């Protein structure tokens, strides 16, 4: 150690970098501290893991495309439920439609002709299959419930239920009963409707 500048001289690490000298100060080529090297290696390791995890193999479910598709599927489902609820006149979730529709189905006596689970009986047709007698759309079902078909035994419900109740029970049939496949279901009648 010299008294002039209190620097340690002649150590193994003190290697002159390029011989540049400015006012007696030499640039040395000392190694980086170990903790900086550790942080650098840790960063490399994390970036390698991140690249493999998110981009390393196809269809891993973690990429932005899959995330976008999943989000859009959720949005489409929610949008469809909102549209179905908007047709009812109030915003209702699928669970609310099924709960309210089930209550109306029991209260208004639909079970007398269509059975407890919509399976149909000697009077009314099966409501749980994809075969429909009077059209495949929600509107045709609403018209059937509203106007009825007295010659076939279907009572018109326009004076017994509000339009919102008729729409709710129609949505209940289309979303809750169709595809439920109860035991002892009546044979299909009418034309097959695509879901």
**For the residues 68-72, what does the mean pLDDT come to?**
90
Residue 68 lies in a domain: no
Provide the terminal-to-terminal Cα distance of the chain, rounded to the nearest Å: 90
Q: CA–CA separation, 110 vs 186, rounded Å?
A: 15
11 pLDDT more than 60? no
Sequence-distant (6+) residues with CB within 8 A of 1 are 7, 8, 9
Domain that holds residue 8: 1-62
What local confidence, expressed as pLDDT, does residue 6 receive? Answer: 58
| DSSP string across 20-72 | EEETTEEEE-PPPPHHHHHHHHHHHHHHHHHHHHHHSSTT-S-SHHHHHHHHH
165 to 29, 89, 95, 171, 178: CA distances (angstroms): 85, 10, 15, 10, 18
The alpha helices in the chain, defined as continuous H runs, are 34-55, 64-88, 94-107, 111-114, 138-147, 163-172
166 to 47, 144, 161: CA distances (angstroms): 59, 10, 6
> What does the pLDDT look like over 81-123, one tens digit per residue?
777 655 555 567 878 888 888 888 888 888 888 888 888 887 8
pTM: 0.52
Q: What value does the mean pLDDT of the chain take? A: 80
**For the residues 34-53, what does the mean pLDDT come to?**
93
9 pLDDT more than 70? no
36 lies in the same domain as 119: no
Residue 67 lies in a domain: no
Count of domains in the chain? 2
**For the residues 56-64, what does the mean pLDDT come to?**
72
46 pLDDT more than 90? yes
> What does the pLDDT look like over 120-137, one tens digit per residue?
887 888 888 888 888 888
What local confidence, expressed as pLDDT, does residue 142 receive? Answer: 86
Domain end point (choices 11, 41, 62): 62
Domain containing residue 135: CATH number: 1.10.760.10
100 lies in the same domain as 38: no
Q: Of the given ranges (37-41, 79-83, 128-132, 174-178), which has the lowest mean pLDDT? A: 79-83
Question: Model confidence at 34, in pLDDT bands (50, 70, 90)?
Answer: very high
61 to 26, 32, 79, 82, 123: CA distances (angstroms): 55, 40, 24, 28, 51
Q: What are the beta bridge partners of residue 28?
A: 16
């Amino acid at each position: 150690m010299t008294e002039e500048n209190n620097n340690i001289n002649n150590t193994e690490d003190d290697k002159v970098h390029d011989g540049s000298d400015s006012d007696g100060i030499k640039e040395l080529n000392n190694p980086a501290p170990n903790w900086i090297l550790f942080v650098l290696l840790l960063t490399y390791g994390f970036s390698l893991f991140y690249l493999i995890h998110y981009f390393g193999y196809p269809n891993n479910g973690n990429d932005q495309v899959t995330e976008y598709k999943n989000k859009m599927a959720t949005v489409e489902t929610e949008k469809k439920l909102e549209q179905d609820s908007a047709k009812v006149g109030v915003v209702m979730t699928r669970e609310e439609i099924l709960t309210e529709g089930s209550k109306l189905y029991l209260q208004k006596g639909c079970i007398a002709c269509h059975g407890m689970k919509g399976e149909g009986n000697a009077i009314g047709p099966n409501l749980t299959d994809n075969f429909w007698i009077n059209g495949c759309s929600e509107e045709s079902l609403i018209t059937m419930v509203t106007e009825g078909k007295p010659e076939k035994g279907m009572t018109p419900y326009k004076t017994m239920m509000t339009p919102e109740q008729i729409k709710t029970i129609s949505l209940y049939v289309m979303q809750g009963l169709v595809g439920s496949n109860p035991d002892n279901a009546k044979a299909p009648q009418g034309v097959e409707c695509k879901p």
